[in-house]
Copies of this chain bind each other. A is one copy, B any other.
Amino acid sequence: MDLALAEARAAAARGEVPVGAVVTDAAGTVLARAGNEVEARRDPSAHAEMLALRAATAARGNKALGDCTLTVTLEPCPMCAQAASFFRIRQVAFGAYDPKGGGVEHGARVYAAPSCHHVPEVVGGVRESDCAALLRAFFAARR
């Protein structure tokens, strides 16, 4: 989560909503890391998780990330939660909970749908206060 937080801080410095994500393999080796790039790419789908997942498979030359963990500073939205399932991520570990936009513990609760073919193990609230503080500070400064 240290690396994901560093990516989130770097995103904030670029004027992006501070969310960072890291994909690690079973040995803990970092396959990919990314921060939110919605503004830079002018792409509303360029969430940190999507970028990290794609970069991880590209780095590995393999679509499947079945032994991997996706660590992200904020509860994934439904788009990213479903993407993690498609990439067959073993575990999703996230920091802050997101009642407004999350799709794992809130909202569409993507993994709770019986039709979700691959359900990652979910660990929420990892360094929750650090992750949430970063988001709060970013939005407070914008107001």
**A interface residues with partner B (beta carbon < 8 Å):** 38, 42-45, 50, 53-54, 57-58, 61-63, 77-83, 86-88, 99-103, 106-110, 112-117
A42 to B86, CA, bound (A): 12
List 5 interface pairs A-B (beta carbons < 8 Å), by A numbering: A38-B63, A44-B57, A44-B63, A101-B117, A107-B114
Which B residues touch A61, using CB under 8 A? 42
For A62, give its contact among B42, B80, B82 (CB under 8 Å).
Answer: B42
Secondary structure of the A contact surface, majority rule: loop
Expressed in whole angstroms, the minimum distance between the Cβ of A94 and any Cβ of chain B is 16
Determine if B110 and A116 form an interchain contact, defined as CB atoms under 8 angstroms apart: no
Determine if B108 and A44 form an interchain contact, defined as CB atoms under 8 angstroms apart: no
A107/B103 contact (C-beta < 8 A), A42-B63, A82-B79 known: no
For A100, give its contact among B54, B58, B109, B115 (CB under 8 Å).
Answer: B115
Which B residues touch A58, using CB under 8 A? 42-43
A31 to B63, CA, bound (A): 29
Which B residues touch A107, using CB under 8 A? 113-116
A86/B45 contact (C-beta < 8 A), A78-B78, A108-B110, A110-B108 known: yes
Which B residues touch A43, using CB under 8 A? 54, 57-58, 63
